[in-house]
Amino acid sequence: MTRLDEIIQQINRKHVYIQTHNFPDPDAIASAYGLQELLKSRGIASTICYKGKIDRYSTDKLRKILNITLENIEDLEHFLTDEDEVILVDAQKGNSNIINMTGDEIICIDHHPTYEKYEYRFSDIRPGIGACSTIIAQYFFENGIPMTKAIATALTFGIRMDTQKLSRGVAKLDIEMLYRMFDDCDQDVIHLLENSNLYFEDLLAYSRAISSIEVFETISFADTGENCPEALIASVSDFMLALVEVTFSVVYSRKEEGIKISVRSERPTLDAGKIIGKALKGIGSGGGHATMAGGFVPFHGTEREEDLLVQDIRERFINVIGKIRRKP
């Protein structure tokens, strides 16, 4: 019995919801899109849903070019019941980057580390894999299910984006799946998606981050400004690692509900997921991979109080990393 067979065995309804993490990135959308096709091949209909918005230009292009239909959870709430079955893709229940939507989360497919245990009917969680799209691609090959050009293109793009073109957190299986999909995906579309992926206004976030950057030893802190799109915060965090003086990047944006944080690490001894979890313990939540992670600190107060909170967050990161470096 394949993993897809096990998934089908746990579904009791003719229709399910496939939920991605909030503000989905290309890997989340591609994984959901691929899973939707797999379920369709077994006679199960599905709706892909998310919270937030599609806030990265390349992600929006992926959706439009491949005609991927997604629904905002807010538009579905009056339809949903507790009996509806939900499959989580590229996210896990209890994480800070996913809303607890109405329904029963029966299945989880993800490549992020687990920070909060939850009993699903079936789970396929592989933190050693670079992208969730890799896992979905493997399901196609394991079951001999043909891929359309659109599916192969989406999954290829998802893998390339989440591994930063095979330069970060990549596993052998990621490379194998890219190789097996190479002849089936549309390379022209991949080129189009990977280029011209910034809005002019996005440059303002880079400008703010550059003008605000502070470096403590090799740890950088930068502010992208208020209500910066989550995908852009992550992109700026990646950008900061290009500095010779920086090995650990912390980038944040002040939002209405609190402070969104993205971290990146290029040192094996500095696990981004573990560090952000420890740094935000007691004031927020965070987690992710060894090389990239994210977190959120809820906050409602004055501007002065927010400035003090940001200062506290910086000191927390410096203290956590300092303790790691002092270990023999």
The model's pLDDT over 114-133, given as tens digits with 9 standing for 90+, comes to 888 899 999 999 999 999 99
* Residues 298 and 266 both lie in one domain: yes
Domain boundary among 145, 171, 194: 194
Nearest to 163 by CA among 196, 195, 203, 133: 133
- CA–CA dist 94, 101 (Å, integer): 11
pLDDT for the residue numbered 37: 98
pLDDT tens per residue, the chain (328 residues)?
A: 999 999 999 999 999 999 999 989 999 999 999 999 999 999 999 999 999 888 777 888 899 999 999 999 999 988 899 999 999 999 999 887 888 999 999 999 999 988 888 999 999 999 999 999 999 999 999 999 999 999 999 999 999 999 989 988 899 999 999 999 999 999 999 999 988 677 888 899 999 999 999 999 999 999 999 989 888 899 999 999 999 999 999 999 999 889 999 999 999 899 999 999 999 999 998 888 889 999 999 998 898 999 999 999 999 999 999 988 887 6
Distance CA 307, CA 302 (A): 9
Dist. CA 34–CA 152, nearest whole Å: 8
Look at residue 325 in the predicted model and tell me its pLDDT. 84
CATH number of the domain at 241, please. Answer: 3.10.310.40
Q: Into how many domains does the chain fold? A: 2
Q: Which 8-state DSSP code applies to residue 218?
A: T
Helices (H), the chain: 3-10, 26-41, 57-65, 73-76, 132-142, 149-162, 172-181, 187-194, 202-212, 230-240, 272-279, 303-326
Return the bridge partners of 293, or none.
263, 288
In the three-class reduction of DSSP (H, G, I as helix; E, B as strand; rest coil), residue 107 is classed as strand
Shared domain for 305 and 261, answered yes or no, is yes
Considering the domain architecture, whether residues 30 and 165 belong to the same structural domain is answered as yes
Shared-domain flag, residues 214 and 137: no
pTM: 0.86
Cα separation, 236 vs 212, whole angstroms: 12
The answer to whether 261 touches 270, Cβ cutoff 8 Å, is no
> What pLDDT is stored for residue 47 in this prediction?
98
Same domain, 234 and 127: no
Same domain, 117 and 264: no
φ/ψ of 18, rounded to 5, equals -105, 110
Q: Are residues 149 and 208 in the same domain?
A: no
User: For the chain, what is the largest distance between any 2 Cα atoms, rounded to a whole number of angstroms?
Assistant: 59
Torsion on CA atoms 243, 212, 281, 273, rounded to nearest 10: -20
Strands 248-254, 258-265: pairing kind: antiparallel
CATH number at residue 125: 3.90.1640.10
What pLDDT digit, counting tens, does each position of 308-318 carry? Answer: 999 999 999 99
Say whether both 162 and 218 belong to one domain: no
Is the same domain home to 181 and 214? no
Domain boundary, last residue among 169, 194, 219: 194
Tell me which residue range forms the domain holding 121: 3-194
| The predicted structure's pLDDT at residue 196 | 65
Q: What is the DSSP string of 11-76?
A: --SSEEEEE--SS--HHHHHHHHHHHHHHHHTT-EEEEEESS----HHHHHHHHHTT---EEHHHH
Same domain, 46 and 173: yes
- In this structure, the answer to whether residues 124 and 142 fall within a common structural domain is yes
Question: Could you tell me if 114 and 237 lie in one domain?
Answer: no
pLDDT, residue 289, reads: 87
Q: What is the DSSP-derived secondary structure letter of residue 193?
A: H
Q: What is the pLDDT of residue 4?
A: 97
Short-list 255, 201, 264, CA closest to 235: 264
Backbone angles phi, psi at 280, to 5 degrees: -100, 5
- Tell me which of 143, 172, 194 is where a domain ends: 194
